[in-house]
Amino acid sequence: MSMLLAICNLGRILTREGREMAEIKLRGLRKSYGGHEVIRGVDIDIADGEFCVFVGPSGCGKSTLLRMVAGLEDITDGTLEIGGQRVNEAQPRDRGVAMVFQNYAIFPHMSVRENMAFGLTIAHASKAEKAAKVQRAAEILQMEHLLDRRPSQLSGGQRQRVAIGRAITRNPGVFLFDEPLSNLDAALRMDMRMEIGKLHKQLGTTMIYVTHDQVEAMTLADKIIVLRDGQVMQAGAPMELYQNPVNRFVAGFLGAPSMNFLDVEIVAADNETAKVARPSMDPIVVPTRGRRFVPGARAVLGLRPQHISACAPDQGVLHGQVTLTERLGSETVVDLVMQDGKNVIAAFGEDKEFERGQRVDLIFAPEQAHLFEEES
């Protein structure tokens, strides 16, 4: 308990040490390689102290965007402001950022201590200052016993901790993380994820975190930016995005297992609801959440697996046969195939046994369903 307090105190001391306000503004940011545009007009606001996660599928431009903030990539067009200053042309070192890379990027020939003190060595800091700052960072990351090791004597998680320690000792205005956990195994990934969350609570520094993993995004972020093909799809708090995705892409990206999408036909529509149907599903009325649909048009119905539940035989709106069951103990994920061959995944919040080929009837609460325009 007292140790926990001590750590919290350290965090507070660290944050007070003359760090600059670091809110970040991206305005119409663009990046082209040759003629090929990979970032296509991005506007993002990140408040001071906010934990912002860029999430999106591989190749959507997350790293490129982060590297533009860091100063490792030139900005083709648009404005980047850090702490109210336009920094488009500023050198990385003048932006007050620290970065943690996927492959750690720690110096193999230096000890852990030297690695963590690197930024201070570069700035010609005194020995005493280096020792004190490294000691504090090591305490925060609980790695004091590793300080004299070489990187080759560390595990992947410990190496990533060294890289984070190197970032902490510089006391930057902004932390940038580029998929820092992708090279770690699953168990370690969860531990480190929690540690990074705690670190943000302790330091209160602005952080931008890039990941393709929606779990990391959901658990860590104050604000999630969902990217696709170099454009922002949606920005907002994790639950906001989870509950009100603006389009099918965002809806499918957040949440696991991912949302079911069923092609439906609009039978009737008014301002707030629409009645939809498909051959293998009984007609049902769902909310339109401000989107407009005309009767006869095609649309996509989105159902989260968790919102589907089993019901008494011959009732419900969806009927399928079990093809695969995954029993996780606290949850049972079932893959069902409906009469028309379409697959639906349902996740039941308890342990249940199903047999392959067993017929299951399903219902869902219509107010939890999402209706999207059909994508072109």
Ligand X SMILES: Nc1ncnc2c1ncn2[C@@H]1O[C@H](COP(=O)(O)OP(=O)(O)O)[C@@H](O)[C@H]1O
Of the listed pieces 53-61, 112-120, 155-163, 352-360, which binds ligand X according to CB under 6 A?
A: 53-61
Rounded least distance, CB 34 to ligand X, Å = 7
Strand order in the sheet with 77-82: 36-46, 24-33, 77-82, 85-86
Question: In the Cβ-directed half-sphere of 73, how many Cα atoms lie within 13 Å?
Answer: 20
58 binds, among ligand X, Mg ion, other proteins, none (CB under 5 to 8 A by kind): ligand X
Of the listed pieces 3-11, 55-63, 110-118, 306-314, which binds ligand X according to CB under 6 A?
A: 55-63
Nearer to Mg ion, 63 or 169 (CB): 63
138 binds, among other proteins, Mg ion, ligand X, none (CB under 5 to 8 A by kind): none
- Which residue in the set 60, 203, 224, 308 belongs to the binding site for ligand X (CB under 6 A)? 60
Does the protein bind ligand X through residue 33 (CB under 6 A)? yes
Rounded least distance, CB 59 to ligand X, Å = 4
Of the listed pieces 54-62, 110-118, 130-138, 234-242, which binds ligand X according to CB under 6 A?
A: 54-62
Q: How many CB atoms lie within 10 A of CB 192?
A: 20
38 binds, among ligand X, Mg ion, other proteins, none (CB under 5 to 8 A by kind): ligand X
How far apart, in whole angstroms, are the C-alpha atoms of residue 207 and residue 21? 12
CB burial class (10 A; 0-12, 13-18, 19+) of residue 329? exposed
Q: Which of 80, 99, 98, 100 is nearest to 90 (CA)?
A: 80
Nearer to ligand X, 56 or 96 (CB): 56
Q: Binders of ligand X: how many residues, by CB under 6 A? A: 10
- Which residue in the set 38, 53, 221, 233 belongs to the binding site for ligand X (CB under 6 A)? 38
How far apart, in whole angstroms, are the C-alpha atoms of residue 134 and residue 118? 10
Rounded least distance, CB 123 to other proteins, Å = 6
Any idea how long the chain is? 376
122 binds, among Mg ion, ligand X, other proteins, none (CB under 5 to 8 A by kind): other proteins
Helix (H) or strand (E) holding 333: strand 332-338
Does the protein bind ligand X through residue 59 (CB under 6 A)? yes
Nearer to ligand X, 33 or 107 (CB): 33
Nearer to Mg ion, 57 or 349 (CB): 57
How far apart, in whole angstroms, are the C-alpha atoms of residue 91 and residue 214? 32
CB burial class (10 A; 0-12, 13-18, 19+) of residue 374? exposed
Handedness of CA 19, 20, 21, 25 (dihedral sign): negative
Partners of 340 in the β-ladder: none
Handedness of CA 356, 357, 359, 361 (dihedral sign): positive
98 binds, among Mg ion, ligand X, other proteins, none (CB under 5 to 8 A by kind): other proteins
Q: What three-state secondary structure class fits 341?
A: coil
Q: Which spans in 104-181 are helix H?
A: 112-116, 118-122, 127-140, 156-169
Nearer to Mg ion, 63 or 306 (CB): 63
Residues that bind other proteins (CB under 8 A): 70-72, 91-93, 97-99, 101, 103, 105-110, 118-119, 121-123, 163, 166, 170
- Range 45-104, binding Mg ion (CB under 5 A): 63
- Which residue in the set 1, 17, 58, 355 belongs to the binding site for ligand X (CB under 6 A)? 58
Q: What three-state secondary structure class fits 193?
A: helix
| Site of tokens 């604000």 | 223
33 binds, among other proteins, ligand X, Mg ion, none (CB under 5 to 8 A by kind): ligand X
Rounded least distance, CB 119 to other proteins, Å = 4
Applying CB under 5 A, the residues found at the interface with Mg ion are 63
Residues that bind ligand X (CB under 6 A): 33, 38, 56, 58-64
